[in-house]
């Protein structure tokens, strides 16, 4: 069910790769809620071609941009303002990639060149996007920016590797830039900390299926789906959340505040040979 929450609003969506992507689901929801969209992804992702299907479905132009390249970002925002005939009301940053994970390096054996690249793509890129928009005065008053994060920013999830540090930095950038952009133009900046979701980036995490099944059992409401995430994001882009900024908002069925569930305790009771100290 759609509510026309974003009627008349214009937004840029970063990071839709295929129909499982959180950004893809969010673009569909924003479209249903009445927004006009512009889609962007890395040039290599555009060459894969999947995103063209989404562009047709939501009637949005596509502009390629590597989030680590300031020229690309300048061209993207110039192109978006030309296309919309003015400022942008909302932006979704749904971008992440761990080079060390891709190369099979453990957290205790990182390559620091790869690590710099990971932090740039997955976290500093939010600063790059916000700084580009800030300097061009590209976001409307009361505009809204959301980036997708994960609870490994606060707690240890060993297989999440260097992405934990990237998410901690991402959330910090949202808080810090949220301060400056709030004062400048009432623009709000938040992160949504989403449940594990089976996407291309998600499945890149070692042991993802076990991880997701554990989170499902540890969450009173169960894991939040990509479509649930899209709905929450649309609310954050809407005028109903005008005073929410600089927050990391858990969207995880209650996982973040659950110590243990009876379902998990029962699993351990089944394996009662585990020695208790």
Interface with ligand NAD (CB under 6 A):
15, 17, 21-23, 41-42, 45, 66-68, 94-97, 121, 148-150, 194, 196-197, 199-202
Shortest gap between Cβ of 52 and ligand NAD (angstroms)? Answer: 14
Q: Which is nearer to ligand NAD, 24 or 181 (CB)?
A: 24
Q: Which is nearer to ligand NAD, 17 or 91 (CB)?
A: 17
Q: Which is nearer to ligand NAD, 84 or 148 (CB)?
A: 148
What is the distance between the alpha carbons of residues 38 and 54, in angstroms, rounded to a whole number? Answer: 11
Shortest gap between Cβ of 65 and ligand NAD (angstroms)? Answer: 6
Q: Which is nearer to ligand NAD, 67 or 138 (CB)?
A: 67
Letter string b/e over residues 2-38, b meaning 16 or more CB atoms within 10 A of that residue's CB:
eeebbeebbbbbbbbbeebbbbbbbbbbbbbbebbbb
Q: Which is nearer to ligand NAD, 75 or 186 (CB)?
A: 75
Task: Identify the DSSP state of 199.
Answer: S
- The residue number with the shortest CB distance to ligand NAD is 202
Shortest gap between Cβ of 98 and ligand NAD (angstroms)? Answer: 9
Shortest gap between Cβ of 7 and ligand NAD (angstroms)? Answer: 26
CA atoms within 13 Å, Cβ hemisphere of 194: 27
CA angle 140, 13, 80 (to 5 degrees): 55
Shortest gap between Cβ of 64 and ligand NAD (angstroms)? Answer: 9
Short-list 136, 166, 143, CA closest to 236: 143
Shortest gap between Cβ of 125 and ligand NAD (angstroms)? Answer: 7
- Return the structure tokens found at 61: 């132009």
* Reduced 3-state DSSP string for 84-151: HCCCEEEEEECCCCCHHHHCCCCHHHCCHHHHHHHHHHHHHHHHHHHHHHHHHCCEEEEEEEEEEECH
Q: Which is nearer to ligand NAD, 3 or 107 (CB)?
A: 107
């Amino acid at each position: 069910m759609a509510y026309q929450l974003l009627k008349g609003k214009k937004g840029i969506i970063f990071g839709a790769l295929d129909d499982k992507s959180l950004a893809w689901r969010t673009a569909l929801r924003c479209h249903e809620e009445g927004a006009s969209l512009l889609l962007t992804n890395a040039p290599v992702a555009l060459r894969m071609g999947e995103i063209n299907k989404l562009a047709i479905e939501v009637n949005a132009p596509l502009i390629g941009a590597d989030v680590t390249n300031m020229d690309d970002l300048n061209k993207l925002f110039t192109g978006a303002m030309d296309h919309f005939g003015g400022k942008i009301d909302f932006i979704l940053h749904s971008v992440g990639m761990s080079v060390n994970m891709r190369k099979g390096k453990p957290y205790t054996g990182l390559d620091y060149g790869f690590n710099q690249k990971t932090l740039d793509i997955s976290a500093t890129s939010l600063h790059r996007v916000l700084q580009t928009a800030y300097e061009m005065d590209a976001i409307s008053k009361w505009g809204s920016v959301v980036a997708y994060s994960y609870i490994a920013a606060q707690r240890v999830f060993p297989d999440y590797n260097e992405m934990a540090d990237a998410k901690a930095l991402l959330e910090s950038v949202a808080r810090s830039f949220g301060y400056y952009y709030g004062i400048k133009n009432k623009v709000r900046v938040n992160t949504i900390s989403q449940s594990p979701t089976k996407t291309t980036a998600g499945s890149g995490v070692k042991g993802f299926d076990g991880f997701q099944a554990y989170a499902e059992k540890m969450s009173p409401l169960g894991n939040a789906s990509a479509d649930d995430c899209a709905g929450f994001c649309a609310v954050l882009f809407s005028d109903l959340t005008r005073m929410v900024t600089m927050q990391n908002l858990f969207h995880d069925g209650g996982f973040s505040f659950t110590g243990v569930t009876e379902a998990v305790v029962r699993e351990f009771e089944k394996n009662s040979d585990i020695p208790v100290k």
